Amino acid sequence: MTRTRPARQAGNQIGTPSAACVAAILTFLPAPPAGAVVGPAHDASGTVADSAVMVLQRQGAAAGFCTGVVLGPRAVLTAAHCVPPGADLRIYLKGAAVLLPVAEVVRHPGYRADAITSRERSIDLAVLLLPDPLPSAYRPATLGSEAGTAVGTRFSVAGFGLAREGDPKTSGQLRQAELAARAPLSDVLLWAVDPNHAGAGACTGDSGGPVLDGSGAVAALTLWSAGDGRHRCGALTQALWLAPFRAWIAAAAAGH
């Protein structure tokens, strides 16, 4: 399969890593990667910080990273477009300067890498299985049990991507911002915007990161972002509801 990069995707692109993670990333990546949440946001802490990791990938001369959600000691959930076939993958543990290998990638059978051009429905999910467990400080995230919501329902988005669009040096720090659901409503996809109209939202590097509901459960997984005018971030965040796919996620991560 060939990975397609939508023009405004909140995924990984080529660029330069932040100073906070440059040393660790460059030991793995010979080419410089790029990108956390743009607009009004704050550094993430607590349960979301304990269950989020960076997913690094290299494919030929291209490299980059996304965000991932911990499912178990040896299992991480992310977006399938972040882990294309043939890519060399690592899990980066921020603060520990540790790069963990990935033993296996389980992509949802409904994922279509060319969904944008072919206009097919795509379930953009992948479970990464690790040969060794994550440090004990990491905790499995709680996944949401419901899909769909009312317009205006509040969520928060978290990720390691760009904090300022166009500036890769601002990536690498887990940040979190408040969003609200907007129309159209769907039991598969969530569209969310900054309720204060101040430009908060996912950006490059945030794909695969958690969208949390009011209880702190991971209700959806970030996939895509859009901006106003020439911007690519800050106007709209799109995510995939996880409740319809919990059985598949559990089966893919079983034993890990």
Helix H segments across 129-195? none
- Output the pLDDT for position 80: 96
**Helices of type H across the chain:** 22-28, 47-50, 115-118, 246-253
| Cα four-point dihedral sign 250, 9, 55, 170 | negative
CB 240 within 8 A of CB 190: yes
Q: Which residues contact 151 (CB under 8 A, 6 or more apart)?
A: 180, 181, 182, 183, 185
Task: Please give the structure tokens belonging to residue 6.
Answer: 């939508």
Q: What is the pLDDT of residue 93?
A: 83
Domains of the chain: 22-31+47-140+245-253 (2.40.10.10), 154-243 (2.40.10.10)
Q: For 87-114, what is each residue's pLDDT tens digit?
A: 999 999 876 677 999 999 999 999 988 7
Parallel, antiparallel, or unpaired: how do β-strands 210-212 and 98-101 relate?
unpaired
pLDDT at 7: 28
Strands (E), the chain: 42-43, 52-59, 62-72, 75-78, 88-93, 98-101, 104-107, 126-129, 154-159, 175-181, 189-193, 210-212, 218-226, 236-241
**What distances in angstroms separate CA 161 from CA 7, 17, 24, 84, 233, one per listed residue?**
16, 10, 16, 19, 11
pTM for this entry = 0.84
Q: Which of 147, 79, 141 is nearest to 107 (CA)?
A: 79
pLDDT at position 43 is 52
Rounded CA Rg of the chain: 16
The residue type at 239 = A
| pLDDT tens figures, 109-146 | 999 887 766 667 889 999 999 999 999 989 999 999 98
Secondary structure letter of residue 74 according to DSSP: T
Predicted confidence pLDDT, tens digits, the chain (256 residues): 223 333 234 554 323 233 333 333 333 333 223 334 544 444 555 678 899 999 999 988 888 899 999 999 999 999 999 999 999 999 998 766 779 999 999 999 999 887 766 667 889 999 999 999 999 989 999 999 988 899 999 999 999 988 887 777 877 889 889 999 999 999 999 999 999 888 888 888 999 999 999 999 999 999 988 878 777 787 899 999 999 999 999 999 999 9
Give the integer Cα–Cα distance in Å for 167 and 35: 9
DSSP 170: G
